[in-house]
């Protein structure tokens, strides 16, 4: 199963806010929803999905295992708890949220436990998030080529991570971009504004279209229905070679998320 190109994210959304966001997204035609154990909103996401009337088999739901649950004894029970909150017998994709190299659980242990969750039918696909090249190589070595569906990583016009994305694409591992708008920082970029004006598009649409044209999946979030609808239109926006070249020049290693003790040494 392919990773959907366009989904809705739920990072930092809580309570009724996330219920409304996911409900609006599903009404607008989104069919992929991304959450995580640490977001503390799986139950609300599950509620929004249940209330939507959209058949479960039409949806692609992703969650992520938090670092406290990486041990072999905890990973599967924690995922089963996530499934209860999500009101589903399975998720479509489960990711290891951060490599967390210092948390005392070996990569081999948590990747093997994740593969066991897939074998038990708790998740259709498995993958990783925030892994560098070396750790991705280790994950491939642990499970075999073809088992890792995606690496979900921070990417934006300000953080393009050419080495890592090229490696992932060589390995046949889908790239999922989060924070594609860099916490909104790219929305004020004059180059992106010029490209947006040329195409009669929004800057957000340009940033998302840039990622899509590079072959990445995107999971932007919004609390506003109009922005959720507008973001979807990025799928129809075609940037030309000159646009893509100009955006390539915006690289500034502008990483927004780099938690100490959880993040790897970046490539």
Q: What average pLDDT does the structure give for the chain?
A: 97
Q: What per-residue string of b and e applies to 170-201 under the rule 16 or more CB within 10 Å gives b?
A: ebebbbbbbbbbbeeebbebebbeebbeebeb
Q: How confident is the model at residue 1 (pLDDT cuts 50, 70, 90)?
A: low
CA dihedral in degrees (235, 241, 244, 248; nearest 10)? Answer: 160
Q: What is the pLDDT of residue 145?
A: 80
Which residue ranges make up each domain of the chain? Answer: 8-182+216-222
Q: How confident is the model at residue 102 (pLDDT cuts 50, 70, 90)?
A: confident
Whether 39 is a known active-site residue: answer: yes
- Express each pLDDT in 55-96 by its tens digit: 999 999 999 999 999 999 999 999 999 999 999 999 999 999
Is 162 labelled as part of a ligand binding site?
Answer: no
Regarding pTM above 0.85, the answer is yes
Query: Does 30 score more than 80 pLDDT?
Result: yes
| Catalytic residue (one of 39, 70, 158, 178) | 39
Q: Which CATH architecture has domain 8-182+216-222?
A: Alpha-Beta Barrel (3.20)
- Are 47 and 19 spatial neighbours (Cβ–Cβ below 8 Å)? yes
Mean pLDDT value of segment 253-260: 97
Q: What is the pLDDT of residue 180?
A: 98
% pLDDT > 70, the chain = 100
- Express each pLDDT in 139-176 by its tens digit: 999 999 899 999 999 999 999 999 999 999 999 999 99
CA-CA distance, 135 to 107, in Å (whole number)? 8
CA-based nearest residue to 195, from 241, 235, 226: 241
Q: What is the pLDDT of residue 41?
A: 98
């Amino acid at each position: 199963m392919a990773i959907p190109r366009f989904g809705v994210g739920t990072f930092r959304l809580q309570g009724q806010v996330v219920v409304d966001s996911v409900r609006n997204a599903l009404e607008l035609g989104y069919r992929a929803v991304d959450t995580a154990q640490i977001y503390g909103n799986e139950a609300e996401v599950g509620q929004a999905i249940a209330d939507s009337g959209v058949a479960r088999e039409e949806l692609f739901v992703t969650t992520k295992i938090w670092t406290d649950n990486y041990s072999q004894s905890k990973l599967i029970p924690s995922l089963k708890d996530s499934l209860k909150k999500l009101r589903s017998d399975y998720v479509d994709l489960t990711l290891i949220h951060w490599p967390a190299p210092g948390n005392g659980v070996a990569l081999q242990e948590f990747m093997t436990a994740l593969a066991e969750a897939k074998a038990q039918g708790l998740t259709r696909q498995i993958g990783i998030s925030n892994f560098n090249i070396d750790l991705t190589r280790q994950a491939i070595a642990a499970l075999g080529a073809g088992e890792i569906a995606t690496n979900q990583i921070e990417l934006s016009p300000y953080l393009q991570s050419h080495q890592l994305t090229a490696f992932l694409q060589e390995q046949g591992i889908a790239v999922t971009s989060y924070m594609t708008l860099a916490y909104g920082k790219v929305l004020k970029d004059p180059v992106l504004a010029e490209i947006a004006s040329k195409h009669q598009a929004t800057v957000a649409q340009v940033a998302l279209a840039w990622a899509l044209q590079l072959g990445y999946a995107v999971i932007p979030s919004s609390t506003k229905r109009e922005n959720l609808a507008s973001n979807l239109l990025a799928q129809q926006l075609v940037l030309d070679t000159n646009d893509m070249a100009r955006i390539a020049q915006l690289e500034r290693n502008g990483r927004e998320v780099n938690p100490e003790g959880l993040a790897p040494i970046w490539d």
